Amino acid sequence: CDFRFMADHARIGMPLAKRGLLIPFPLVQKLVHMVGPVATSEILLRGAPLSAQRAHELNMVHRVLPSEQLEPETMALATELAANAPVSVRGFKQMIATAAQAHAERHEQAMHELMVQGMNSADAKEGLQAFLEKRAPQYTGR
Protein backbone atom coordinates (compact mmCIF):
# COMPACT_ATOMS: atom_id res chain seq x y z
CA CYS A 1 0.00 0.00 0.00
CA ASP A 2 1.24 3.45 -0.83
CA PHE A 3 -0.83 5.13 1.87
CA ARG A 4 -2.27 3.56 5.00
CA PHE A 5 -4.90 5.14 7.24
CA MET A 6 -6.11 3.66 10.52
CA ALA A 7 -9.06 4.43 12.78
CA ASP A 8 -7.97 5.89 16.11
CA HIS A 9 -9.72 3.12 18.07
CA ALA A 10 -8.36 0.24 15.94
CA ARG A 11 -5.62 -2.18 16.93
CA ILE A 12 -3.33 -4.22 14.71
CA GLY A 13 -1.15 -7.20 15.47
CA MET A 14 0.48 -10.38 14.26
CA PRO A 15 0.11 -13.02 17.00
CA LEU A 16 1.89 -15.62 14.86
CA ALA A 17 4.48 -16.69 17.44
CA LYS A 18 1.65 -17.28 19.91
CA ARG A 19 0.18 -19.75 17.40
CA GLY A 20 3.44 -21.42 16.37
CA LEU A 21 3.29 -19.88 12.90
CA LEU A 22 5.79 -18.16 10.64
CA ILE A 23 5.32 -15.90 7.62
CA PRO A 24 7.27 -16.02 4.36
CA PHE A 25 10.66 -14.30 4.45
CA PRO A 26 9.71 -11.61 1.88
CA LEU A 27 6.99 -10.41 4.26
CA VAL A 28 9.52 -10.21 7.11
CA GLN A 29 11.83 -8.23 4.80
CA LYS A 30 9.01 -5.84 3.94
CA LEU A 31 8.20 -5.31 7.62
CA VAL A 32 11.90 -4.71 8.45
CA HIS A 33 12.10 -2.13 5.64
CA MET A 34 8.90 -0.48 6.85
CA VAL A 35 9.56 -0.25 10.60
CA GLY A 36 13.14 -1.44 11.20
CA PRO A 37 14.49 -4.59 12.87
CA VAL A 38 13.77 -3.55 16.47
CA ALA A 39 10.10 -2.78 15.84
CA THR A 40 9.80 -5.91 13.69
CA SER A 41 10.99 -7.91 16.69
CA GLU A 42 8.37 -6.22 18.86
CA ILE A 43 5.62 -6.97 16.35
CA LEU A 44 6.54 -10.57 15.50
CA LEU A 45 8.08 -11.90 18.71
CA ARG A 46 5.59 -10.37 21.16
CA GLY A 47 2.58 -10.67 18.91
CA ALA A 48 0.71 -8.17 21.06
CA PRO A 49 -1.84 -5.89 19.38
CA LEU A 50 -0.59 -2.37 18.70
CA SER A 51 -2.72 0.72 19.18
CA ALA A 52 -3.30 3.02 16.23
CA GLN A 53 -0.96 5.56 17.85
CA ARG A 54 1.84 2.97 18.23
CA ALA A 55 1.34 1.82 14.63
CA HIS A 56 1.71 5.47 13.56
CA GLU A 57 4.86 5.90 15.69
CA LEU A 58 6.35 2.85 13.94
CA ASN A 59 5.46 4.24 10.49
CA MET A 60 3.09 1.35 9.82
CA VAL A 61 0.34 3.86 8.99
CA HIS A 62 0.49 7.38 7.61
CA ARG A 63 -2.47 8.83 9.44
CA VAL A 64 -4.66 7.99 12.41
CA LEU A 65 -8.17 9.39 12.10
CA PRO A 66 -11.54 9.16 13.83
CA SER A 67 -13.67 6.48 12.14
CA GLU A 68 -16.05 8.99 10.60
CA GLN A 69 -13.16 10.73 8.81
CA LEU A 70 -11.59 7.61 7.27
CA GLU A 71 -13.73 7.45 4.13
CA PRO A 72 -13.77 11.19 3.33
CA GLU A 73 -10.01 11.51 3.91
CA THR A 74 -9.30 8.43 1.81
CA MET A 75 -11.48 9.71 -1.03
CA ALA A 76 -9.83 13.14 -0.87
CA LEU A 77 -6.39 11.55 -1.18
CA ALA A 78 -7.55 9.30 -4.03
CA THR A 79 -8.92 12.33 -5.87
CA GLU A 80 -5.67 14.22 -5.34
CA LEU A 81 -3.55 11.32 -6.57
CA ALA A 82 -5.81 10.65 -9.57
CA ALA A 83 -5.14 14.20 -10.78
CA ASN A 84 -1.41 13.48 -11.05
CA ALA A 85 0.28 12.40 -14.27
CA PRO A 86 0.08 8.60 -14.60
CA VAL A 87 3.59 8.44 -16.09
CA SER A 88 5.00 10.24 -13.05
CA VAL A 89 3.04 8.13 -10.57
CA ARG A 90 4.14 4.86 -12.21
CA GLY A 91 7.73 6.03 -12.47
CA PHE A 92 7.96 7.22 -8.88
CA LYS A 93 6.33 4.04 -7.57
CA GLN A 94 8.91 1.95 -9.43
CA MET A 95 11.77 4.15 -8.22
CA ILE A 96 10.58 4.00 -4.60
CA ALA A 97 10.22 0.21 -4.72
CA THR A 98 13.70 -0.14 -6.23
CA ALA A 99 15.28 2.30 -3.77
CA ALA A 100 13.84 0.30 -0.87
CA GLN A 101 15.61 -2.86 -2.03
CA ALA A 102 18.99 -3.96 -0.75
CA HIS A 103 21.73 -3.03 -3.21
CA ALA A 104 19.50 -0.43 -4.85
CA GLU A 105 22.60 1.19 -6.37
CA ARG A 106 22.75 -1.72 -8.82
CA HIS A 107 19.59 -0.33 -10.39
CA GLU A 108 20.74 3.28 -10.65
CA GLN A 109 21.16 3.23 -14.45
CA ALA A 110 17.74 1.66 -14.99
CA MET A 111 16.16 4.25 -12.69
CA HIS A 112 17.94 7.05 -14.57
CA GLU A 113 16.53 5.70 -17.84
CA LEU A 114 13.07 5.56 -16.28
CA MET A 115 13.42 9.20 -15.21
CA VAL A 116 14.50 10.26 -18.72
CA GLN A 117 11.52 8.42 -20.24
CA GLY A 118 9.19 10.15 -17.80
CA MET A 119 10.66 13.58 -18.45
CA ASN A 120 10.23 13.04 -22.21
CA SER A 121 6.67 11.74 -21.91
CA ALA A 122 3.56 13.38 -23.31
CA ASP A 123 2.31 13.71 -19.72
CA ALA A 124 5.40 15.71 -18.73
CA LYS A 125 4.96 18.05 -21.68
CA GLU A 126 1.25 18.43 -20.91
CA GLY A 127 1.94 19.07 -17.22
CA LEU A 128 4.41 21.86 -17.96
CA GLN A 129 2.21 23.39 -20.66
CA ALA A 130 -0.83 23.33 -18.38
CA PHE A 131 1.20 24.99 -15.62
CA LEU A 132 2.36 27.75 -17.96
CA GLU A 133 -1.20 28.24 -19.24
CA LYS A 134 -2.61 28.15 -15.68
CA ARG A 135 -5.06 25.33 -16.47
CA ALA A 136 -5.71 21.81 -15.23
CA PRO A 137 -3.62 19.22 -17.10
CA GLN A 138 -5.26 16.57 -19.28
CA TYR A 139 -3.02 13.52 -18.77
CA THR A 140 -3.12 10.54 -21.13
CA GLY A 141 -0.76 8.13 -19.39
CA ARG A 142 1.77 8.39 -22.22
Residues 116-142 have pLDDT tens digits of 888 889 988 988 999 999 999 999 988
| Domain assignments of the chain as residue spans, ordered by start | 5-79, 84-132
pTM score > 0.75 for this model? no
Give me the CATH topology for the region 5-79: 2-enoyl-CoA Hydratase; Chain A, domain 1 (3.90.226)
Q: What is the pLDDT of residue 104?
A: 62
Please provide the distance, in angstroms rounded to a whole number, between the alpha carbons at the two ends of the chain.
Answer: 24
CA pair distance 113, 36, nearest whole angstrom? 30
The answer to whether 118 and 142 have CB atoms below 8 angstroms apart is no
Query: Which residues of the chain have a pLDDT value below 70?
Result: 102, 104
Q: What are phi and psi of 12, to 5 degrees?
A: -135, 145
Query: Taking CA 110 as the corner, what is the angle to CA 106 and CA 113, rounded to the nearest 5 degrees?
Result: 150
Q: Parallel, antiparallel, or unpaired for β 11-12 and 5-7? A: unpaired
Residue 131: CB atoms within 10 A of its CB come to 10
Task: Specify the pLDDT at position 114.
Answer: 82
